[in-house]
């Protein structure tokens, strides 16, 4: 009967399973959609956004390298070999006032031209640390004191030293610049250097101060030289303090790195809160959507249950009435076509069962009569056995030994075929009964045929269905020979470890194909000899006890004899079957 509400979550009840299926139906699309959405967002985050940020830091690295190349090109214009530096050396070596005045004007004019053609230059001059005038021919008169040892070394290559980012030497400008200090080769003593400063135009925001900005609205940058020394960082103070050569990546940030040709590294940092902002926003919305979907699924499960609960109670009521043999009312309308159909079928089934019960009661009344008829059928073999024993006793009393022997053999054959032995027998018992049958037929036919039985002793314990060899030998006797001497061979071998092959063949005249087909047909029975019945009996026994595991092969050719082969499993399907 239907249970109360306390079984709502019992998985063995329809209510519990319905709730489970509907909730599962609500959860499954949520999980699939969530997984696909997360994978898509994650792919966008890790591929598109990451690629954009990585491309950004690579572009900034390349921009910085272009600034370095620009300073190198400017330094070539100031070199001694073919550049302004040659006039500077002549100016330093000259003592003639007019020549020095002319060189000074030429140098100043050339410096102005270089400064004009390179608008990104901030400061440019010649530097001689051992001279009384260390800074010479500056491009701007508004320069602070120059102290090279305070510059941050980015990297060094031969006579070139690259610095930055540092504050410019120009007093009226407080921006960061990158600088180059190059020692001019072939310069007289004291040594002569070229100093060049260049603006960070194009990526100045990366080196701007972020202390006045709100968190999450910018990126952070860090520049380290090839020795792992921190040159610049606009990260918050605590994060910048945690950076060193061994641990350049502070916690709480997603880092993107670009390495310059000379070993320096530029890092771009994104706070993880900002980096995961879209995913976190999606997760919160997805959780809300999932909760609403689950609530909808549970509500739907309850509504569906309420919809089917009343029809189920009506169906259960009909079944209880039938079990308690009550007179049931005609089925009423449940409100659902499917349940109305079920109630109608239950009513039809109830009426049919009552009819079947009545029919069974009538058959039970006839059962006693059938038992008496069966007993009479079983009496006939006993009467026949008793009569044959009497004939055998009288023949011996009167000295008729041939008749006594014939009756003895016939009694054994009859006892094997009609007696209360098991349906399943050992092969030795089947061979023994076959030998009795052959001896009986030899007496009848005056030994005009010979039967050669070739069965190894190790096969005699294999169990087979009873009475499967005699019909085959009988078939050879009746259809193979025409009162001429013939040869019948009964052969048993193991085809493999679990297959017994039994062959019955003769050298007679063979059976015509039409006759053989008629003998094996299920629809026609040879009432004259009964041999078709015998062959069909053997085939039926193989089907019953071996099924598809047995194989039956019949070959017959005119004047070449007939061969019947049975391939049987060595282990029979039914271990022991008793006679009726």
Q: What is the CATH number of the domain that holds 541?
A: 3.30.565.10
Residues 469 and 559 in one domain: yes
- CA distances 367 to 363, 371, 511, Å, are 6, 6, 45
Residues 467 and 507 in one domain: yes
Q: What is the CATH number of the domain that holds 129?
A: 3.30.450
Q: How far apart are the first and last CA of the chain?
A: 45
Report the distance separating Cα 306 and Cα 310, nearest Å.
Answer: 7
Residues 150 and 240 in one domain: no
Report the distance separating Cα 401 and Cα 394, nearest Å.
Answer: 10
427-476: pLDDT as tens digits: 999 999 888 888 877 776 766 678 899 999 999 999 998 888 988 988 88
Among candidate residues 308, 341, 343, the one with its CA nearest the CA of residue 328: 343
Contacts for 150 with CB less than 8 Å, ≥ 6 apart? 166
Q: Last residue of some domain: 236, 260, 275?
A: 275
> For residue 48, what is the DSSP state?
I
3-state secondary structure of 563: strand
The dihedral built from the CA positions of residue 40, 43, 48 and 50, taken in this order, carries a sign that is: positive
**Cβ atoms of 127 and 136 closer than 8 Å:** yes
Report the distance separating Cα 520 and Cα 526, nearest Å.
Answer: 10
**Cβ atoms of 395 and 407 closer than 8 Å:** yes
pLDDT score, position 523 = 53
91-139: pLDDT as tens digits: 888 889 898 899 999 999 999 999 898 888 889 999 988 888 889 899 8
Tell how strand 160-167 and strand 230-233 pair up.
Answer: unpaired
pLDDT score, position 529 = 46
Q: Last residue of some domain: 147, 168, 199?
A: 199
The dihedral built from the CA positions of residue 401, 403, 409 and 414, taken in this order, carries a sign that is: negative
pLDDT score, position 527 = 45
pLDDT score, position 106 = 92
Lookup result for tokens 């994104």: 270
| pLDDT (tens place) for every residue of the chain, 580 residues total | 444 444 445 666 666 777 777 777 777 777 887 777 777 777 776 777 788 888 888 988 888 898 899 999 999 999 888 789 888 888 888 889 898 899 999 999 999 999 898 888 889 999 988 888 889 899 888 887 888 888 999 999 888 999 988 888 887 777 788 999 999 876 666 788 999 999 876 555 666 655 544 444 568 888 888 888 888 888 887 666 677 766 677 878 888 899 998 889 999 888 888 877 777 777 788 788 878 877 877 777 777 777 777 777 777 777 777 766 655 556 667 667 777 777 778 777 877 887 888 888 777 655 544 444 444 444 445 445 555 666 666 666 666 676 766 777 777 766 666 655 577 889 999 999 888 888 877 776 766 678 899 999 999 999 998 888 988 988 888 776 665 677 899 999 998 889 999 999 988 888 888 887 777 765 554 444 445 677 877 888 888 888 888 999 999 888 888 999 999 999 885 544 443 3
3-state secondary structure of 279: helix
Token couple for 354: 């009552």
Residues 97 and 168 in one domain: yes
**Cβ atoms of 487 and 506 closer than 8 Å:** yes
Residues 186 and 263 in one domain: no
Token couple for 28: 């499954």
Residues 243 and 135 in one domain: no
The parent domain of residue 178 ranges over: 78-199
Supply the Cα-derived Rg of the chain in whole angstroms. 57
Residues 146 and 188 in one domain: yes
**Cβ atoms of 417 and 455 closer than 8 Å:** no
Total of domains in the chain: 3
Residues 532 and 457 in one domain: yes
């Amino acid at each position: 009967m239907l249970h109360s509400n306390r079984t709502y979550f019992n998985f063995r009840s329809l209510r519990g399973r319905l709730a489970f299926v509907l909730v599962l139906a609500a959860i499954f699309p949520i999980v699939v959609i969530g997984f696909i959405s997360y994978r898509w967002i994650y792919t966008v985050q890790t591929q598109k956004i990451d690629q954009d940020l990585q491309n950004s830091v690579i572009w900034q690295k390349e921009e910085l390298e272009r600034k370095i190349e620009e300073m190198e090109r400017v330094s070539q214009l100031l070199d001694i070999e073919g550049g302004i530096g040659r006039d500077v050396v002549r100016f330093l070596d000259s003592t003639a006032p007019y020549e020095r005045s002319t060189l000074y004007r030429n140098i100043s004019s050339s410096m102005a031209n270089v400064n004009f053609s390179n608008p990104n230059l901030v400061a440019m001059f010649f530097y001689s640390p051992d001279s009384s005038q260390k800074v010479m021919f500056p491009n701007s008169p508004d320069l602070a004191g120059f102290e090279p040892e305070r510059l941050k070394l980015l990297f060094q290559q031969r006579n070139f030293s690259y610095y930055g980012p540092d504050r410019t030497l120009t007093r009226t400008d407080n921006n960061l610049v990158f600088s180059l200090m190059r020692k001019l080769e072939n310069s007289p003593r004291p040594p002569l250097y070229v100093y060049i400063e260049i603006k960070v135009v194009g990526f100045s925001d990366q080196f701007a101060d972020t202390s006045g900005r709100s968190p999450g609205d910018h990126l952070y940058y860090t520049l380290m030289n090839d020795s792992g020394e921190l040159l610049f960082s606009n990260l918050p103070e605590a994060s910048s303090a945690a950076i060193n050569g061994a641990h350049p990546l502070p916690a709480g940030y997603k880092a993107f790195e670009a390495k310059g040709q000379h070993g320096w590294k530029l890092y771009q940092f994104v706070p993880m809160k900002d980096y995961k902002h879209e995913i976190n926003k999606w997760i919160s919305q997805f959780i809300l959507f999932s909760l609403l979907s689950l609530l909808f699924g549970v509500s739907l499960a309850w509504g569906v249950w309420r919809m089917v609960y009343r029809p189920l109670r009506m169906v259960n009521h009909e079944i209880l009435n039938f079990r308690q043999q009550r007179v049931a009312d005609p089925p009423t309308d449940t409100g659902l076509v499917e349940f109305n159909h079920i109630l109608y079928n239950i009513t039809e089934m109830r009426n049919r069962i009552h009819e079947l019960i009545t029919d069974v009661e009538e058959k039970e009344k006839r059962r006693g009569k059938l038992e008496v008829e069966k007993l009479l059928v079983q009496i006939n073999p006993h009467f026949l056995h008793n009569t044959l024993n009497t004939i055998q006793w009288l023949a011996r009393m009167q000295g008729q030994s041939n008749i006594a022997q014939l009756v003895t053999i016939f009694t054994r054959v009859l006892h094997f075929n009609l007696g209360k032995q098991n349906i399943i027998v050992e092969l030795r018992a089947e061979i023994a009964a076959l030998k009795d049958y052959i001896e009986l037929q030899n007496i009848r036919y005056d030994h005009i045929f010979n039967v050669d039985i070739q069965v190894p002793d190790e096969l005699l314990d294999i169990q087979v269905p009873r009475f499967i060899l005699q019909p085959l030998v009988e078939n050879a006797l009746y259809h193979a020979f025409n009162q001429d001497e013939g040869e019948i061979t009964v052969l048993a071998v193991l085809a493999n470890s679990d297959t017994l092959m039994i062959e019955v063949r003769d050298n007679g005249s063979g059976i015509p194909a039409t006759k053989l087909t008629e003998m094996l047909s299920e629809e026609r029975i040879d009432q004259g000899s009964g041999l078709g019945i015998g062959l069909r009996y053997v085939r039926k026994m193989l089907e019953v006890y071996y099924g598809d595991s047995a194989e039956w092969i019949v070959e017959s050719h005119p004047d070449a004899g007939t061969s019947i082969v049975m391939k049987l499993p060595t282990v029979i399907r039914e271990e022991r079957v008793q006679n009726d």
